[in-house]
């Protein structure tokens, strides 16, 4: 059987055989038969915008692998920094490479004092931490003008390590500022996750001792969020990067896209939804409202997964471990009931709507003490590794600038009418 398809233009009778490459059809080939005609695909739901060797996702079967490694194995056995290394470098590090990577990341966690004092203190007292994170990541580009040198692999790598290193510092700084609490400096003796927890929660103790179970849970959550191929925020980061903007600007674009409730903002929206439902006896009414199109069941549904999101399954498991330490989140039973009702309802079944990564993660974050406004920030810390891996891969492939076409449906040419005559 030939690995190709043949298309025929019925207007001219002309046919064209197009090879199938890596499971896709090259639009440039296809266009030979259809010059000046564009593929209309809103939301790019059926368009591949990249050849990527980073993450494999099989949505029908709930499979997620990074560089070939199943997410289940990485979540159970690895650390976030090791997974970040894997995403960025393509292979798991040797012990020596690992030590060097961890050392470099650890020694780039500080942010410039001027930046901390003048930039952060410019925000309004109740600024959303995600807005603070998005703008401060973009602001960092002004401190590292050499980041514009995107052609130089060494300069690229320097910004990659800086961004992965500084994200928790910016995130915790945003939280502390919103609480009116003093900034906690990074502690180079702590691992990545413990250091973040210390910058979040340390008060007057000489050293903040993170609970091992909670630290491990957060490590798992960072891994689960580290990458998800061409999702909305990665596409945003890639699009800005494709114009050869510096990586801080590109990653800031990723943060901005992640902030939206259809994407990374869904974890915050799930908690707000559970609060809005309020009690068990209102679940059925709420589900009826969802089916009538009044609102969406947040934390459900996915563009790619049409079966259970494998990340959600791991998170559900992690939630139980966390609740053994923190006590059960009172909203857990409501979430479980909501899932049960939804999964037995024709509306959700026929549309293949299952819990996604955001459905249970917020419950864990909340039980660990994070305010809802920090949930998407935690997502962003993990996803930074993925954004950067894609940004680097795109530059290494010398990709073209992202510039799609449109189908114009506006008025034909017409003459300008003076304002008094309209």
Quick one: 158 or 218, whose CB is closer to ligand CMC? 218
End-to-end CA distance of the chain: 64
As measured in angstroms, the least distance from the Cβ of 102 to ligand CMC is 27
Backbone angles phi, psi at 76, to 5 degrees: -80, -30
Quick one: 266 or 334, whose CB is closer to ligand CMC? 266
User: Taking a C-beta distance cutoff of 8 angstroms, is the pair 315, 255 a contact?
Assistant: no
Give the whole-angstrom CA distance, residue 186 versus residue 208.
11
263 is catalytic: yes
Quick one: 147 or 237, whose CB is closer to ligand CMC? 237
User: Taking a C-beta distance cutoff of 8 angstroms, is the pair 360, 316 a contact?
Assistant: yes
Catalytic residue among 227, 302, 309, 390: 302
Catalytic residue among 98, 112, 157, 263: 263
Give the whole-angstrom CA distance, residue 226 versus residue 205.
31
Question: Closest Cα to residue 249, out of 181, 159, 123?
Answer: 159
302 is catalytic: yes
Give the whole-angstrom CA distance, residue 87 versus residue 74.
12
Quick one: 241 or 386, whose CB is closer to ligand CMC? 386
As measured in angstroms, the least distance from the Cβ of 92 to ligand CMC is 24
Rg (CA), the chain: 23
Quick one: 246 or 309, whose CB is closer to ligand CMC? 309
Return the biggest CA–CA distance within the chain: 79
Strand, helix or coil at 5? strand
As measured in angstroms, the least distance from the Cβ of 312 to ligand CMC is 9
Q: Which residue is nearest to ligand CMC (CB)?
A: 301
Quick one: 63 or 213, whose CB is closer to ligand CMC? 63
As measured in angstroms, the least distance from the Cβ of 401 to ligand CMC is 25
Question: Closest Cα to residue 368, out of 325, 420, 320, 419?
Answer: 325
Catalytic residue among 227, 246, 309, 358: 358
The 8-class DSSP code of residue 57 comes to E
Going from the C-alpha of 102 to that of each of 98, 163, 164, 208, 357, the distances in angstroms are 6, 13, 11, 20, 27
Which residues in this chain contact ligand CMC in the complex, by CB under 6 A? Answer: 43, 228, 231, 262-264, 266, 290, 296-303, 351, 353, 356-358
Chain-centre distance of CA 167, in angstroms? 13
Give the whole-angstrom CA distance, residue 192 versus residue 108.
11
Instruction: Quickly list DSSP for 316-381.
Output: HHHHHHHHHHH---TTHHHHHHHHHHHHTSHHHHHTT--B-HHHHHHHHHHHTT--GGGHHHHHHH
Q: β-pairing, 24-25 with 14-21? A: antiparallel
As measured in angstroms, the least distance from the Cβ of 227 to ligand CMC is 11
Question: Closest Cα to residue 80, out of 142, 183, 18, 167?
Answer: 167
As measured in angstroms, the least distance from the Cβ of 356 to ligand CMC is 4
225 is catalytic: no
Quick one: 54 or 297, whose CB is closer to ligand CMC? 297
Backbone angles phi, psi at 82, to 5 degrees: -65, -40
As measured in angstroms, the least distance from the Cβ of 59 to ligand CMC is 10
Active site residues: 263, 302, 358
């Amino acid at each position: 059987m030939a690995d190709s398809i043949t298309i025929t233009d019925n207007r001219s009778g002309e046919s064209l055989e197009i090879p199938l490459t890596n499971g896709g059809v090259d639009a440039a080939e296809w266009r030979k038969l259809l010059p000046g005609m564009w593929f209309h695909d809103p939301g790019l739901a059926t368009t591949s915008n990249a050849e990527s060797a980073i993450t494999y996702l099989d949505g029908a079967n709930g499979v997620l692998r990074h560089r070939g490694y199943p997410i289940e194995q990485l979540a159970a056995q690895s650390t976030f920094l090791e997974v970040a290394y894997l995403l960025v470098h393509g292979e798991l590090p040797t012990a020596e490479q690992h030590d060097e990577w961890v050392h470099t990341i650890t020694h780039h966690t500080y942010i410039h004092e001027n930046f901390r004092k003048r930039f952060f203190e410019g925000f309004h007292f109740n600024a959303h931490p995600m807005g603070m994170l998005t703008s401060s990541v973009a602001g960092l580009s002004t401190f590292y003008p050499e980041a514009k040198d995107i052609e130089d692999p060494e300069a690229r790598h320097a910004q990659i390590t800086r961004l992965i290193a500084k994200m928790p510092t910016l995130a915790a700084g945003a939280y502390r500022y919103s609480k009116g609490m003093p900034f906690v400096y990074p502690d180079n003796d702590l691992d990545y996750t413990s250091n973040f927890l210390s910058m979040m929660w340390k008060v007057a103790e000489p050293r903040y001792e993170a609970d091992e179970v909670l630290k491990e849970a957060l490590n798992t959550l960072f891994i689960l969020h580290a990458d998800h191929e061409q999702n909305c925020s990665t596409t945003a980061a890639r699009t800005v990067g494709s114009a050869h903007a510096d990586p801080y600007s590109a990653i800031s674009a990723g943060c901005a896209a992640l902030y939206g409730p259809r994407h990374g903002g869904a974890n915050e929206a799930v908690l707000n939804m559970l609060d809005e439902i309020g009690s068990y006896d209102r679940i059925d009414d709420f589900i009826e409202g969802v089916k009538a199109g009044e609102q969406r069941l947040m934390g459900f549904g996915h563009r790619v997964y049409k079966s259970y999101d494998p990340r959600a399954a791991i998170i559900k498991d992690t939630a139980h471990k966390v609740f053994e330490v923190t006590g059960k989140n009172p909203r857990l039973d409501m979430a479980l009931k909501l899932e049960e009702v939804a999964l037995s309802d024709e509306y959700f079944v026929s549309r293949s709507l299952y819990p996604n990564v955001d459905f249970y993660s917020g419950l864990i974050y909340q039980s660990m003490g994070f305010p809802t406004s920090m949930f998407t920030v935690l997502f962003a810390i993990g996803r930074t590794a993925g954004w950067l891996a894609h940004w680097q891969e795109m530059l290494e492939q010398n990709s073209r600038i992202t510039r799609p076409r449109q189908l114009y449906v506006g008025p034909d040419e017409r003459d300008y009418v003076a304002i008094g005559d309209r």
